[in-house]
Amino acid sequence: SNMGSETEVEQIVDKLQDFCDNFVQNHGMEKIHEKTAMVKQEVDSTIAMLKTLEERCQKTTFMLQYARALNVLPDYSRECEDYLSKVVKRDPSIIRGWNLLGETFWKKGDIGAAKDCFEGGLKRKKDKVSLRSLSMVLRQLKADKFGDEQKNVISSVEMAKDAVGMDVEDGMSWYILGNAYLSLFFVTEQNPKVLAMALEAYSKAEKVEKRSTHNPDLHFNRAMAYRYEESYQLALEGLTTADQLDPTWGSPRTKINEIFNYLDKVNDLVEKKGKMKSKRLQNMIKSIKETNLGPYSGGSFTFNGKQQKLEYIPLSSLKEGANP
C-alpha cells in the first residue's frame, strides 16, 4: 500500500537523522574522528534503500524524504535544492519543505533566498524550526543603513524566543536563543545582563536535551561569552571541548592560543608594572583621586543590597580569587 511505504520511507530517514544527531551518545567520543565518514556511509545506504521504495510512494512525499536524507550532510547539494524546489511548488502547505529548502540555501550562502523560504513557511503556519532559522538568518543579513543591524538582532531575539515558547523542551531552540542574545550583547554596548541571558539559554539547552552537550558550536559560542565575562578558565574549558567534538574545525585551537597569548601578556605587564619608570609610577599613583573610583569611592560599596567596607591596600597584598 501507498501509505505503508510512505511511513516506511519517513522512518528510514528518521533513523538516519537520529544516527547523525545522537552520534556521540551512541558511539562515544572515541569514534568522533570517524563521524564524517560514518555519516556519509549511512546517507548512501539510506538513499539506496529509499530508491527501492520510490515506485510505491506519492512523488511529493518521496522527494521530501529523499531531500531530508541528503540534507543530513553538512555541504550544499544541488540535487537537494532541485527536489525541494519541486516539493514547495507542488504543495506549498508542506512547512518542512520550506524549512529544508531554506537550510539548503543557507548552506549555499544565499541568505536572501533562505530568508524567503523561512518566511514562506511562517506565512502558512507558525513553526518552531522556521522561527529559529529565521532568527539565524536575520543575524547574517547585511545591514544597508545605520541602525539596521541592531533592528535585525532585536527581531532575531524575538524569533528565537517565539521558537522556545512553542516547545520549551527543544534544546536547539534554546541554543539559537543563546546565540541571539550573544549577538545582542555586541550591539547593545556589551551590557553584562544580556551576556548572562545568553549563558542562561545555553545551560537551558543542555538541561532539556542531552545531545546539546555534544554540539561543538554551543561550547565554542559559550566560550566567547565567558571570554567577554573574563572567565578565562571556563572559556578555555569550553574551547577544548569544542575542539574535541570537532577535531577538523581548527577555530577552537586558534582561540585557545589567542587567550593564552593575551593572558601571558597581561601577566607580564602586571609583573613589570607596565614597564614604567618608578618616578612616573609614583606620580601616577599620587594622581588617582577619590572621584576616579566611581562606584567604589566613599569607603564602601553596595553589592546585592549589602554594604561592603573598602580599604586602600597595595596590589601586592591581594591573593588570587576573592579578597574579602
Within 10 A of 21 (CB to CB), how many other CB atoms are there?
Answer: 16
Q: Is residue 235 part of a domain?
A: yes
In a domain, 314, yes or no: no
Provide the number of structural domains found in the chain: 2
Query: Which residue's C-alpha cell is 502558512?
Result: 124
The Cα–Cα gap between 244 and 308 comes to 43
Query: Is 205 domain-assigned?
Result: yes
Q: Which range marks the domain in which residue 185 is found?
A: 146-212
Q: Using an 8 Å Cβ cutoff, are 106 and 112 in contact?
A: no
Q: Give me the half-sphere count of Cα atoms (radius 13 Å) on the Cβ side of residue 170.
A: 17
Whether residue 248 sits in one domain with residue 223: yes
What's the pLDDT at 311? 83
pLDDT score at 143: 80
| 226 & 264 share domain | yes
Task: Count the neighbouring beta carbons within 10 Å of the beta carbon of residue 252.
Answer: 23
Q: What is the pLDDT of residue 297?
A: 80
Per-residue pLDDT at 1: 57
pLDDT in the model for residue 122: 97
Question: What pLDDT score does 241 carry?
Answer: 97
In a domain, 168, yes or no: yes
Q: Enumerate long-range contacts of 42-48, CB under 8 Å, 24 or more apart.
A: 42/16, 42/72, 43/16, 43/69, 43/70, 43/72, 43/73, 46/12, 46/13, 46/15, 46/16
Q: Is residue 293 part of a domain?
A: no
Q: What is the pLDDT of residue 9?
A: 94
Spans of the chain below 70 pLDDT: 1-2, 304
Does 162 share its domain with 180? yes
Q: Which of 212, 236, 254 is the last residue of a domain?
A: 212
CATH number at residue 203: 1.25.40.10
| Total residue length of the chain | 324
